[in-house]
Amino acid sequence: MSIQNNIGQVIGASVAGWKRCIEPPKSEMLGQYCFLEPLSISKHAPEIYQVLVDDADNHNWTYLPYGPFTVYEHFRDWLEEYCLKNDPQFHVIIDKENGQALGIASYLRIEPKVGVIEVGHIHFSNKMQRTRIATESMFLMMCRVFDELGYRRYEWKCDALNIKSRRAAERFGFSFEGIFRQATIYKERNRDTAWYSIIDSEWPEIKRTYQSWLKPQNFDKSGNQLSSLRI
């Protein structure tokens, strides 16, 4: 949205009433099928390592800037060095039914002053992929960002060659904004970065769509969806 100033120039709409957000709290996010809790080395590391290394050809690590880890101690050291900060803020995704840790995700590039935050370091184990837990975990993180904390913009970025991640972003309701060419280097190779976002004005409709899809009656006895998520 844009407006004109008093000399006829086009400028951005006023946000004069805007108040900065707070940083995401390190607390649980509880859903119907899963919950997310802040990463704890002692509580989560051994189990999350086991589910993430259950990946015969390491394809889940290809587009991450670290890994794969073949030795638990190396994985634990990485968690201790990198994953206990306020930014990125890592959470473990846990199956509510059996208490099993199934994946990780984080908030990062947190900018409370302007209300912008990103979701990233998403690593769903093979057990978690294409399940309602995968979808609900992303929904819970969105609810915290928009409903609890009042952020204006929620970002998703990935390697432009990571088709799986790009399709996930679109399915989860993010809008494609473009590709930043030669944005960075990782694992001794170039990365063009695809940018996606959801903004606060889009959130109410997206939220209603998630809530409808997540209803228990949308799944059969095996947990398979009856109607697909269409945002």
Q: Which residues constitute the domain of residue 43? A: 25-218
| Reported confidence tier of residue 152, pLDDT bands at 50, 70, 90 | very high
CA distances for 11 relative to 5, 8, 47, 65, 205, angstroms: 7, 9, 51, 38, 27
pLDDT 10s digits, 157-180: 999 999 999 999 999 999 999 999
Number of structural domains, the chain? Answer: 1
Inside any domain, residue 18: no
Q: Is residue 208 part of a domain?
A: yes
Q: What is the largest distance, in Å, between two alpha-carbon atoms of the chain?
A: 64
Per-residue pLDDT, 201: 97
Task: Kindly report the number of other CB atoms within 10 A of residue 28's CB atom.
Answer: 12
pLDDT at position 3: 81
Residue 219 DSSP class: B
Q: Quote the pTM value.
A: 0.96
Q: Is there a domain that residue 7 lies in?
A: no
- Examine residue 5 and state whether it is found in any structural domain, yes or no: no
36-93 per-position pLDDT tens digit: 999 999 999 999 999 999 988 999 999 999 999 999 999 999 999 999 999 999 999 9
Is there a domain that residue 88 lies in?
yes
Angle, helices 203-213/132-143, rounded to nearest 10 degrees: 150
Which CATH number characterizes residue 29's domain?
Answer: 3.40.630.30
On the question of pLDDT at 1 being above 80, the answer is no
Q: Give a yes or no: residue 6 inside a domain.
A: no
According to the model, what pLDDT value does residue 214 have? 98
> In this structure, is residue 35 part of a structural domain?
yes
Residue 11, domain member (yes or no): no
